[in-house]
């Protein structure tokens, strides 16, 4: 199996990554040279196209367009430096060819970044020249005949052989091949570094010098002395001597979330701004270094383990954030073990990066979401390369046996079925790709054909003009989904329950259309294949509210996810402190009852922000900042909520008791409490 990191490192050479270099599955019998050349060709055509369009948009010379592109790139990862080096080496030839009205296909074939091997079809993105291809190519070669660098691709050079890129290549190689954080001092598979498989992918380590401290473990001695599970709760309440971890988390059923997936689960994404000349600016590539060191994935925004807010303005949160919201004892307990090109067949090569101990750690919800690459490949004869149902069954059972030996009892494993990818061609083939929007010269049908020709398509079966092939691919996907469904129904394991969920793409489309969206907007615009963030947030929201689990165990899991993780009495005080500190809703009686927004104060912020969220709760008090209207501005807003939105059964006498429990430090607040309660009591009496 060819490692994807070598294909990935084509990126610094061409300023921007090739479209599918990371997301395409790789194959045992495909030569390394052929596959690498395919992505190199895509990268060349992409970058030359961008240069040509930059010159057109800004009415500049080709030289000016190349310099403009380099000026946009950040210094990190030597991207700007590499860009200028490439200009110095290839710029003069690119200028000559573009000035002679040669398109990007001709330029890249002339410079031999693209090749037409004997007996193979000619691969091109743009329409062929009006004159014969052979004549046009020969004319272009005569233009750069004396160029000393014409034979680049035949020299066998490797971009990673450059001294200033060697160390970067090594870091990327190790991080991708092992699927564990490269920067991990204590080797516990958790890191304090965000990218290179760091905490963008799994919970942030809170002590990288102690391998016994990591997210998701059961607390060591109730975390009296240190935060052993990195959820921000440790120490002892000085009032009663009870450890905070025991007080807030005992009985709350903490669960981690683990994703076993492919590029869709890792949230593969190429920003349209990176290839759209009319949208490029100095800010366009700010996120590029982060994206490159995350393999062009954005797990921090993914539907399963994302912990950052959506960038498209959709309110649904990831599954991890939903679990976190219902039980803050789950803080940082997430693992995104997804990989570009992953399938049931190659999962065994990186599943050992999973971090879970049957005795030391909390149970987990594991989502098995290999939703594409068992039916998707880039081969011209794609059907024989698809995973058969029999092989798929064997692969999945091997994975389940591994999970059963590593997951604590009480865990759950959820299978996602495979989608029907005929949606791609039906909704995109006649639309213009971002690279073709300026001149209306590149459709998704042309892009699909180009990638299929080079055998670097992420899914030849669905990204094809051949309707019969698209149908066969969907039939195989349905067969594999039925295999998962049978396994979930029949197989039993000691440490976890099995559940199956359909990949309800049609329901997702309907939900998106209800919101005024168009179906094609659910697909990544650059690669024309991956589901984008809109689809991710819709699907993860549907998962958490789904009623499709109609069997008894499924109903139990749905109920557990939706109800049992709601804060219990012991977690509410800490939850309230956390939520107040971040200006979110807080309620002492549960999230569905008389909630009020409480504004932050310095005291409440210190509650969790000091020392990275590990300061003892004795430094704060659950009574919040001033709020309300009119006379209510003189009242603590939490008290205002108690008075106006108190739940049934909560008497004024119990609220008065809370007032009396305030210590001397809060004497003025106590006076306000008593005056207010006296006034309310009098009004009620008169009434």
Architecture per CATH, domain 254-544, reads as 3-Layer(aba) Sandwich (3.40)
| Catalytic one of 36, 49, 191, 263 | 263
Contact criterion met (CB below 8 Å) for 512 and 521: yes
Q: What per-residue string of b and e applies to 227-236 under the rule 16 or more CB within 10 Å gives b?
A: bbbbbbbbbb
Provide CB contacts within 8 A for 394, sequence distance 6+: none
Residue 615 has pLDDT above 80, yes or no: no
C-alpha Rg value of the chain to the nearest Å: 29
Say how many CA atoms lie within 13 Å of 121 toward its Cβ.
11
Q: Among 53-67, 231-245, 576-590, which stretch is predicted with the lowest mean pLDDT?
A: 576-590
pLDDT greater than 80 at residue 105: yes
The pLDDT tens digits for 630-681 are: 444 434 444 444 444 444 444 444 544 444 444 444 444 444 555 555 555 4
| Helix, strand or coil, per DSSP, at residue 626 | strand
Q: How far apart are CA 163 and CA 487, in angstroms?
A: 51
82-89 mean pLDDT: 91
How is the chain split into domains, by residue range? 5-19+29-152, 254-544
Higher per-residue confidence, 254 vs 160: 254
Is 99 considered catalytic here? no
Question: 367-407, pLDDT tens digit by residue?
Answer: 999 999 999 999 999 999 999 999 999 999 999 999 999 99
- Grouping H, G, I as helix, E, B as strand and the rest as coil, residue 372 is coil
| CA atoms of 8 and 17, how far apart (whole Å) | 7
């Amino acid at each position: 199996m060819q490692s994807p990191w070598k294909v990935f490192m084509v990126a610094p050479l061409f300023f921007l990554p090739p479209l599918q270099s990371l997301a395409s599955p790789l194959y045992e019998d495909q030569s390394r040279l052929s596959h690498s050349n395919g992505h190199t060709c895509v990268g060349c055509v992409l970058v030359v196209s961008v240069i040509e369009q930059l010159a057109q948009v800004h009415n500049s010379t080709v030289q000016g367009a190349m310099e403009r592109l380099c000026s946009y790139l950040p210094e990190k990862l030597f991207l700007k430096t590499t860009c200028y080096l490439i200009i110095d080496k290839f710029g003069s030839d690119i200028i000559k060819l573009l000035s002679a009205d040669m398109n990007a296909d001709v330029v890249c074939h002339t410079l031999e970044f693209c090749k037409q091997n004997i007996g193979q079809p000619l691969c091109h993105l743009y329409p062929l020249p009006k004159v014969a291809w052979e004549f046009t190519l020969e004319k272009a070669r005569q233009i750069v005949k004396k160029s000393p660098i014409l034979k680049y691709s035949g020299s066998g050079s490797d971009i990673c052989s450059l001294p200033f890129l060697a160390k970067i290549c090594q870091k990327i190689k190790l991080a991708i091949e092992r699927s564990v954080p490269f920067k991990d001092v204590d080797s516990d598979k958790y890191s304090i570094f965000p990218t290179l498989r760091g905490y963008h992918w799994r919970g942030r380590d809170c002590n990288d010098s102690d391998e016994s401290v990591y997210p998701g473990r059961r607390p060591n001695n109730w975390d009296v002395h240190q935060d052993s599970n990195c959820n921000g709760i440790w120490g002892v309440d000085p009032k009663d001597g009870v450890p905070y971890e025991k007080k807030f988390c005992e009985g709350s059923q903490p669960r981690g979330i683990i994703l076993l997936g492919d590029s869709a689960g890792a949230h593969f994404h190429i920003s349209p701004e990176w290839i759209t000349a009319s949208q490029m600016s100095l800010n366009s590539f700010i996120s590029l270094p982060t994206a490159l060191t995350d393999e062009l994935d954005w797990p921090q925004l993914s539907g399963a383990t994302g912990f950052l807010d959506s960038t498209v303005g959709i309110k649904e949160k990831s599954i991890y954030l939903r679990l976190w919201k219902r039980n803050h004892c789950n803080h940082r307990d997430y693992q995104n073990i997804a990989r570009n090109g992953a399938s049931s067949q190659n999962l065994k090569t990186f599943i050992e990066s999973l971090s879970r101990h049957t005795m030391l750690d909390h149970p987990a919800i594991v989502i098995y979401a290999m939703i594409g690459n068992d039916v998707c490949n880039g081969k011209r004869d794609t059907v024989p390369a698809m995973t058969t149902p029999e092989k798929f069954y064997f692969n999945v059972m091997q994975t389940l046996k591994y999970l059963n030996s590593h997951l604590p009892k009480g865990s759950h494993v959820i299978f996602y079925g495979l989608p029907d990818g005929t949606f791609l061609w039906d909704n995109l083939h006649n639309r213009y790709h971002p690279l073709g929007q300026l001149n209306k010269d590149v459709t998704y049908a042309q892009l699909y054909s180009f990638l299929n020709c080079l055998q670097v398509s992420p899914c030849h079966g669905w990204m094809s003009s051949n309707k019969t092939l698209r149908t066969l691919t969907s039939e195989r996907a349905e067969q594999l989904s039925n295999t998962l469904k049978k396994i979930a129904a029949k197989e039993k394991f000691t440490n976890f329950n099995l559940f199956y969920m359909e990949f309800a793409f049609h329901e997702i489309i309907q939900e998106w259309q209800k919101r005024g969206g168009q179906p094609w907007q659910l697909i990544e615009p650059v690669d024309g294949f991956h589901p984008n963030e809109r689809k991710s947030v819709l699907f993860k929201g549907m998962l958490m509210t789904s009623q499709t689990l109609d069997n008894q165990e499924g109903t139990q899991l749905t109920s557990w996810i939706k109800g049992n993780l709601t804060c219990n009495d012991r977690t509410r005080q800490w939850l309230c402190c956390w939520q107040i500190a971040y200006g979110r809703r807080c309620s002492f009686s549960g999230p569905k009852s008389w909630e009020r927004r409480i504004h932050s104060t310095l005291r409440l912020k210190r509650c969790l922000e000091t020392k990275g969220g590990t300061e003892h709760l004795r430094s704060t008090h659950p009574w919040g900042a001033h709020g309300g209207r009119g006379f209510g501005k003189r009242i603590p807003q939490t008290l205002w909520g108690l008075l106006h939105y108190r739940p049934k059964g909560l008497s004024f006498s119990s609220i008065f008791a809370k007032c009396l429990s305030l210590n001397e430090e809060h004497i003025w607040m106590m006076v306000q409490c008593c005056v207010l309660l006296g006034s309310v009591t009098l009004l009620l009496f008169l009434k």
